[in-house]
A and B are shown apart, each in its own frame.
Chain A
Amino acid sequence: MSDVLIASRAPGADLSVPGASGARQFWRRLRAQRAALVAAGAVAALVLVALAAPLLTAVEGQDPTTYHPDLVDSARGGVPVGPFGGAGGEHWLGVEPQTGRDLFARLVYGARVSLGVALAATVVQIVIGVAVGVAAALGTHWADQLLSRFTDVIVAMPLMIMSLALLAIVPSSFPRPVLVALVIGLIAWGNIAKIVRAQTLTLKGLDHVAAARLSGWGGWRIARRELLPGLAAPVITYAAILVPQNITVEAALSFLGVGVKPPTPSWGQMLTAADVWYQAAPQYLLLPAGALFVTVLALTVLGDGVRTALDPRAASRLRVGTGRRREAASEGSGGTDPEGPGGAEPEGPGGAERPGGAERGGAV
């Protein structure tokens, strides 16, 4: 998991504070990485597909919930009629076994659920994490102790297990996708709170914050104007890791039958019964599995790219990127890496940084 190295960096927090020019620098560095660009394109395409799901299915002339019993062979246990699982002009990717629902429609609507739930959960995680982290860093000693210990408890809870159990007890009248997003968001904000707390503590000691305090600014104004811009880099970096992780968790929960429930389509849920049908209708397995794989892969690569763009030093430790040299050249700084073996830079303070902090909490 890519968050290992990030988490180990956070306490050191020597990330540069992006200002107005920081955003432009960020884009330039992101564009310099070919893999990240491709991934960004893939993510953009996926988001477009998710947004345009009603449009796409309207063009196809199908919808994700209508049963087509005439298209499945009930004598053979519900196998889709026709070659390639019933794929053709009517149903572009064929139909679901047993129910005959349109696979293409379920797949694109599934993208909506998958991305929507993951993004919403990430927003919840960021809001809680930033609030708790900033409050702990700026609050009194006791507030800090209380919040930090509570964060430790939250971090120690296995995400999959807790969300699985929590989803069982909430009344089913609640809209399911919203609920899944909330549950994931409410359980897995611990690491972001830790990172934000550490970064805020560092920022608090910086001159411009002290100057703001001395000129009589209130706590709110300082937090909003001086601290939040400095928190942007680590929060964005970590959020880029959380989104693919949340997608996997949602898919896993739906796969287990406690996440998004039918008739709402979800990739994880589509895979639940897929193993029974792989011979008769292989695309019933391959399509949601492939969609899940491509989405998580693209988001992970994009997340790596975002981190590299925000913190170029971390990149050299991850891989020898050609993009890095191009970026260094384009910035006109001239000096590339001090060319250690394989271009790896020695890390700064090795000290008490420990890896794996972010690994806790049951990644799937």
Chain B
Amino acid sequence: MNGFPGFALRRTVGTLATLLAISVVVYVVFYVTPGNVAQITCGPRCSPVQVQQVADQLRLDDPLYTRYWHFLQGLVIGQDYSTGASVQHCPAPCLGLSYQSDQQVTELILAKLPVSLSLVSGAMVMWLILGVGTGVLSAWRRGRLSERVLTGITLAGVATPVFVIGLVLMIVICGELELLPFPQYVNLTDDPEQWAWNLLLPWLSLALVEAAAFARLTRASMLETLAEDHIRTFRAYGVGERSVIGRHALRGAFAPVIALNANTVGSAVGGAVLTETLFGLPGVGRELVHAVDVVDLPVVVGTVLVIGFFVVIANAVADVLYAVADRRVVLT
């Protein structure tokens, strides 16, 4: 198959294969750990009987491929778990039960997902505006002092870890100047205004770090386009500098920026973990940090898989968008 439908189909199959491979790698890595998995999972104060219960529930005595098969079955068709006397049905996609709370991991993650999605989507809007804006400005003012200042700021943005930016912003804006309250998550459906107000600082922290990459990319692509022949033609026809920059050169940055954007959404989840922890937002990332703290293996594996799922999807979307936006790309 050729052309776009074939490309999209191949990408979809490839994405599914990658997801499957990731689930295998993650599962194997986490359940073939050095040490007694049941003991680690159950905690140091568990009695041998409890450890054996955990081992039974995890089916640790089965060979690894059987266990993975069960896990995969749970994901696709759901699974029944016997916790004590009662039997709990865990519908598909089932990621198992938490060892801390016996809660279903899927439910646990779904409850936290809106927070993380709010954080990343809002931050995305901000890093696009800040990053592309800075890039356009520095391409426009190239060679002047203002461009050097912008380049310096961008470099500082690249060099500052998200938790340092967040920490400083929180201390200065919430602590010293008291312009904003210390963030507390409010549901979007409950109170949109409070939702945005409380997330403003987390958005900004996450966006400032990522925006630097967009500024550099936008500027570089625009300068590249500005050197092309058709821009010289526009100039020769007397098209104003503002229009050359704002309309024609910006077009050259379009494809790379949307591709980078989809990739950044994927990579920003790492930053989101830090932002959530720093600001105390009850998202998936904070859940992961907590699960890591108490070694709640099913929750760890579940969150890693869910986050991996979003990253892989974002990357696939990046490929497709890039192909659509830039006709020169050869579809393979």
Instruction: Answer whether A352 and B274 are a contact pair too, CB < 8 Å, given A2-B158, A360-B315.
Output: no
The answer to whether the Cβ of B18 comes within 8 Å of any Cβ in the partner chain is yes
Q: Which residues of B contact A355 (CB under 8 A)?
A: 217, 256, 259-260
CA distance A152 to B217 in the complex (A): 23
Q: Which residues of B contact A356 (CB under 8 A)?
A: 256, 259-260, 262-264, 318
- Closest chain B residue to A289, Cβ basis: B164
Residue contact A318 to B159, C-beta cutoff 8 Å: no
CA distance A320 to B226 in the complex (A): 14
Instruction: Answer whether A317 and B223 are a contact pair too, CB < 8 Å, given A162-B304, A164-B288.
Output: yes
Residue contact A289 to B167, C-beta cutoff 8 Å: yes
Residue contact A164 to B312, C-beta cutoff 8 Å: no
Q: Which of A22-30, A86-94, A98-106, A167-175 contacts B (4 or more CB under 8 A)?
A: A167-175
Instruction: Answer whether A362 and B175 are a contact pair too, CB < 8 Å, given A255-B274, A256-B277.
Output: no
Residue contact B151 to A319, C-beta cutoff 8 Å: yes
Q: Which of B26-34, B78-86, B193-201 contacts A (4 or more CB under 8 A)?
A: B26-34
The answer to whether the Cβ of A137 comes within 8 Å of any Cβ in the partner chain is no
The answer to whether the Cβ of B120 comes within 8 Å of any Cβ in the partner chain is no
Residue contact A300 to B21, C-beta cutoff 8 Å: no
Please pick, from A170, A248, A317, A347, the residue contacting B33 in the complex, using a CB distance under 8 A: A170
Q: Which residues of A contact B35 (CB under 8 A)?
A: 171
The answer to whether the Cβ of A149 comes within 8 Å of any Cβ in the partner chain is yes
Q: Which residues of B contact A319 (CB under 8 A)?
A: 151
The answer to whether the Cβ of A203 comes within 8 Å of any Cβ in the partner chain is no
CB distance from A316 to the nearest CB of B (A): 9
Q: Which of A127-135, A291-299, A324-332 contacts B (4 or more CB under 8 A)?
A: A291-299
Q: Which residues of B contact A296 (CB under 8 A)?
A: 159-161
Residue contact B328 to A320, C-beta cutoff 8 Å: no
Please pick, from A153, A160, A340, A351, the residue contacting B330 in the complex, using a CB distance under 8 A: A351
Q: Which residues of B contact A275 (CB under 8 A)?
A: 167, 170-171
Interface string of A259-301 (1 = CB under 8 A from B): 0000000001001001100110000010001001100110011
- Closest chain B residue to A296, Cβ basis: B159
Q: Which residues of A contact B213 (CB under 8 A)?
A: 1, 4, 359
The answer to whether the Cβ of B224 comes within 8 Å of any Cβ in the partner chain is yes
CA distance A278 to B164 in the complex (A): 13
CB distance from B217 to the nearest CB of A (A): 5
Residue contact B217 to A4, C-beta cutoff 8 Å: yes
Please pick, from A251, A341, A357, the residue contacting B161 in the complex, using a CB distance under 8 A: A251
- Closest chain B residue to A304, Cβ basis: B155
Q: Which residues of A contact B217 (CB under 8 A)?
A: 4-5, 355
Please pick, from B21, B151, B216, the residue contacting A153 in the complex, using a CB distance under 8 A: B21
Residue contact A292 to B164, C-beta cutoff 8 Å: yes
Residue contact A354 to B259, C-beta cutoff 8 Å: yes
The answer to whether the Cβ of A345 comes within 8 Å of any Cβ in the partner chain is yes
Residue contact A364 to B161, C-beta cutoff 8 Å: yes
Residue contact A297 to B263, C-beta cutoff 8 Å: no
CA distance A162 to B288 in the complex (A): 11
- Closest chain A residue to B29, Cβ basis: A166
Q: Which of A161, A301, A345 has the most CB of B within 10 A?
A: A161
CA distance A248 to B171 in the complex (A): 21
Q: Which residues of A132-173 have CB atoms within 8 Å of chain B's CB atoms? A: 149-150, 152-153, 156-162, 164-171
- Closest chain B residue to A279, Cβ basis: B175
Instruction: Answer whether A156 and B18 are a contact pair too, CB < 8 Å, given A4-B213, A4-B260, A364-B161.
Output: yes
Instruction: Answer whether A153 and B277 are a contact pair too, CB < 8 Å, given A165-B300, A255-B163, A362-B269.
Output: no
Please pick, from B34, B168, B292, the residue contacting A168 in the complex, using a CB distance under 8 A: B292
- Closest chain A residue to B164, Cβ basis: A289
CA distance A360 to B167 in the complex (A): 25
The answer to whether the Cβ of A205 comes within 8 Å of any Cβ in the partner chain is no
Q: Which residues of B contact A185 (CB under 8 A)?
A: none
Give the number of chain A interface residues (Cβ < 8 Å): 69
The answer to whether the Cβ of B156 comes within 8 Å of any Cβ in the partner chain is yes
CA distance A180 to B288 in the complex (A): 18
Q: Which residues of A contact B319 (CB under 8 A)?
A: 354
The answer to whether the Cβ of A361 comes within 8 Å of any Cβ in the partner chain is yes
The answer to whether the Cβ of B273 comes within 8 Å of any Cβ in the partner chain is yes
- Closest chain A residue to B271, Cβ basis: A364
A-B contact count (CB 8 A): 212
Main DSSP-derived SS at the A contact region: helix
CA distance A350 to B220 in the complex (A): 13
Q: Which residues of B263-297 have CB atoms within 8 Å of chain A's CB atoms? A: 263-264, 266-267, 269-271, 273-274, 277, 288-289, 291-293, 295, 297
CA distance A170 to B315 in the complex (A): 30
CA distance A278 to B277 in the complex (A): 18
CA distance A256 to B289 in the complex (A): 7
Residue contact B143 to A297, C-beta cutoff 8 Å: no
CA distance A274 to B167 in the complex (A): 9
The answer to whether the Cβ of B142 comes within 8 Å of any Cβ in the partner chain is yes
CA distance A363 to B223 in the complex (A): 26
Interface string of B37-49 (1 = CB under 8 A from A): 0001000000000
Q: Which residues of A contact B191 (CB under 8 A)?
A: none
- Closest chain B residue to A345, Cβ basis: B227
The answer to whether the Cβ of B190 comes within 8 Å of any Cβ in the partner chain is no
- Closest chain B residue to A154, Cβ basis: B25
The answer to whether the Cβ of B186 comes within 8 Å of any Cβ in the partner chain is no
- Closest chain B residue to A152, Cβ basis: B18
The answer to whether the Cβ of A344 comes within 8 Å of any Cβ in the partner chain is yes
The answer to whether the Cβ of B129 comes within 8 Å of any Cβ in the partner chain is no
Q: Which residues of B contact A297 (CB under 8 A)?
A: 155-156, 159
Instruction: Answer whether A352 and B223 are a contact pair too, CB < 8 Å, given A168-B300, A252-B163, A297-B155.
Output: no
The 9 closest A-B pairs by CB, nearest first: A160-B270, A362-B270, A340-B227, A297-B159, A344-B223, A168-B292, A342-B142, A356-B263, A356-B260
A-B contact pairs, 20 of them (CB 8 A): A1-B158, A2-B216, A4-B216, A149-B21, A150-B21, A156-B22, A156-B308, A156-B315, A157-B25, A158-B267, A158-B269, A257-B293, A275-B170, A285-B171, A293-B159, A301-B155, A319-B151, A342-B143, A356-B264, A360-B315
Taking A258-B292, A317-B223, A340-B227 as known contacts, 18 extra A-B pairs with beta carbons closer than 8 A to each other, sorted by chain A number, are A2-B158, A158-B311, A160-B273, A161-B307, A164-B273, A165-B292, A168-B291, A168-B293, A171-B35, A256-B277, A278-B175, A285-B167, A300-B155, A318-B220, A341-B142, A355-B260, A356-B259, A359-B264
